[in-house]
């Protein structure tokens, strides 16, 4: 049964812990709920906000519309061959719990993505990634409901047009679909991804005897716990900005001025620079302004200590963008979505 609630606080629905309200809120448990919802009169005219774990979101004002919280659960084995298992997962499953499900069964491919907040359905939207792996590497397909017609559509890996923290769902079909489930192809004979510097170092510190996906997952969890704030304790949405990709020529000029500037060569023409480093250089790391601030251990993460307002966080992000642009000539694009 669908229950539409009125005037609900969204504080517990976003990992930043911003206390704004929505005019209406409904939680959907299955595909049928979505179809039923979109047959209700007056639904089409309401502004809608589709929510997974609310972990990549900054709410700057009350929402005068309908929030649709996706609670679709379930993990099902679709098929299996000698080397792979295909799992179909409800969009409302918690991402980290799904990673643990795979790690415990020896199914490789997403262990480097341990402890990322959010839900399975939200993961493809921005092609979540960490420690040298992105979800596009194991993603097979997803099913989504078109919110204007109620018709279900399958998106293959190619259809999603995955890029760095990017997909078709942030661009061409933004706001048009509700993702109801996602299918992954996991490896029975996992290929271990250890190239990201911190992973090797952490595994050595942990004196790991056997390199397994479980060991990698544990190393990732250790690194994340040491650098990133736990949203259950301090409100945040992970990286607030994307790491900028700049022309190699600009990188060379910056390198002559700042010999320590880190950079990852993407191709002959493009270098990716860590936004956290740029922000730290501008003196923002660990700065606190009343109830909000810049995380003490990772300058890429903005935090809400308690009771902070979304607009204040937005203003702080704009000041950071301005100072990085002035000093380095680089514009930082935000990774979080503003509502
Ligand atoms: N750095 C600083 N100061 C800081 C933060 C970072 O100098 O305050 C430097 C580090 O010393 C290092 C480099 O920046 O040389 C990279 O730092 P880190 O390994 O922490 O990764 P990142 O590039 O800052 C990205 C992702 C994270 C992901 C990590 C690990 C983006 C926008 N962020 O951060 O993703 O966990 O790599 O793969 O690409 C997220 O999306 O929410 C997120 C946390």
- Residue 11 and residue 27 in contact, taking contact as beta carbons nearer than 8 Å: no
Strand pairing category for 48-51 and 21-28: unpaired
Q: What is the pLDDT of residue 35?
A: 87
The pTM (predicted TM-score) of the whole model is 0.95
* Residue of 300, 301, 335 to test ligand 1 pocket, by largest number of atoms within 8 Å of CB: 300
80 counts as catalytic? no
Pocket lining: 280 vs ligand 1, CB cutoff 6 Å: yes
What is the whole-number distance in angstroms between the Cα of residue 275 and the centre of ligand 1?
7
- pLDDT computed for residue 197 by the predictor: 77
Return the pLDDT at 217: 98
Q: Ligand 1 centroid vs 122 CA: distance in angstroms? A: 20
Q: Whose CA is nearest to atom 33 of ligand 1?
A: 239
For the stretch 27-33, contacts whose Cβ atoms lie closer than 8 Å and that sit 24 or more positions apart, written own/partner, are 27/3, 27/68, 27/69, 27/71, 28/2, 28/68, 28/69, 28/70, 28/71, 28/72, 28/178, 29/71, 29/72, 29/73, 29/92, 30/72, 31/72, 31/143, 31/145, 31/152, 31/180, 33/2
Looking at the CA of residue 56, tell me the nearest atom of ligand 1: 42
Determine if ligand 1 sits within 6 Å of the CB of residue 285.
yes
Q: Is 141 in the pocket of ligand 1 (CB under 6 A)?
A: no
Active site residue 153: no
Backbone angles phi, psi at 327, to 5 degrees: -80, -40
Annotate 295-334 with b (16+ C-beta within 10 A) or e (fewer).
Answer: beebbbbbbbbeebbbebbeebbeebbebbeeebebebeb
Q: Which of 114, 217, 239, 317 is catalytic?
A: 239
21 as an active site residue: the answer is no
Order of strands across the sheet that contains 63-70: 4-9, 21-28, 63-70, 48-51
Residue of the nearest CA to atom 16 in ligand 1?
274
Please give the chain's pLDDT, 339 residues, in tens: 899 999 999 999 999 999 999 999 999 999 889 989 988 888 889 999 999 999 999 999 999 999 999 999 999 999 999 999 999 999 999 999 999 999 999 999 999 999 999 999 999 999 999 999 999 999 999 999 998 888 899 999 999 999 999 999 999 999 999 999 999 999 999 999 998 878 999 999 999 889 999 999 999 999 999 999 999 999 999 999 999 999 999 999 999 999 999 999 999 999 999 999 999 999 999 999 999 999 999 999 999 999 999 999 999 999 999 999 999 999 999 999 999
Ligand 1 in reach of 56 Cβ (< 6 A): no
Ligand 1 lined by 300 (C-beta under 6 Å): yes
Q: Which of 165, 180, 185, 224 is catalytic?
A: 165
Q: Whose CA is nearest to atom 4 of ligand 1?
A: 276
Q: What domains can be seen in the chain, in order of their start residue? A: 4-70 (3.30.43.10), 75-187 (3.30.465.10), 235-338 (3.90.78.10)
Whether 33 and 2 have beta carbons less than 8 Å apart is answered as: yes
């Amino acid at each position: 049964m669908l229950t539409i609630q009125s005037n609900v606080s969204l504080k517990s629905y976003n990992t930043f812990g911003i206390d704004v309200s929505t005019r209406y809120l409904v939680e959907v448990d299955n595909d049928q709920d979505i179809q039923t919802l979109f047959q209700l009169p007056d639904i089409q005219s309401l502004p809608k906000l589709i929510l997974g774990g609310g972990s990549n979101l900054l709410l700057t004002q009350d929402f005068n519309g309908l929030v649709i919280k996706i609670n679709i659960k379930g993990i099902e084995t679709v098929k299996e061959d000698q080397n792979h298992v295909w799992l179909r997962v409800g969009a409302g499953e918690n991402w980290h719990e799904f990673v643990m499900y795979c790690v415990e069964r020896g199914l490789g491919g997403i262990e480097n993505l341990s402890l990322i907040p959010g839900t399975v359905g939200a993961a493809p939207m921005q092609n979540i990634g960490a420690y040298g792996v992105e979800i596009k590497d194991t993603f097979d397909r997803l099913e989504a409901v078109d919110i204007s017609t109620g018709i279900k559509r399958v998106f293959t890996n190619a259809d999603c047009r995955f890029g760095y923290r990017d997909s078709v769902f942030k661009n061409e079909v933004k706001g048009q679909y509700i993702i109801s489930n996602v299918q992954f192809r996991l490896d029975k004979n996992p290929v271990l991804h250890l190239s990201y510097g911190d992973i090797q170092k952490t595994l050595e510190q942990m004196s790991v005897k056997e390199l397994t996906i479980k060991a990698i997952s544990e190393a990732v969890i250790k690194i994340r716990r040491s650098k990133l704030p736990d949203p259950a304790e301090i409100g945040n949405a992970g990286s607030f900005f994307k790491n900028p990709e700049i022309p190699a020529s600009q990188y060379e000029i910056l390198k002559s001025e700042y010999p320590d500037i880190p950079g990852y060569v993407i191709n002959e023409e493009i270098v990716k620079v860590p936004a956290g480093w740029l922000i730290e250089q501008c003196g923002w790391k660990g700065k606190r302004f009343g109830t909000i601030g810049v995380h003490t251990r990772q300058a890429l993460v903005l935090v809400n200590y308690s009771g902070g307002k979304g607009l204040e966080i937005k203003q702080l992000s704009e000041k950071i963008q301005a100072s990085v642009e002035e000093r380095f000539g680089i514009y930082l694009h935000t990774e979080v979505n503003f509502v």
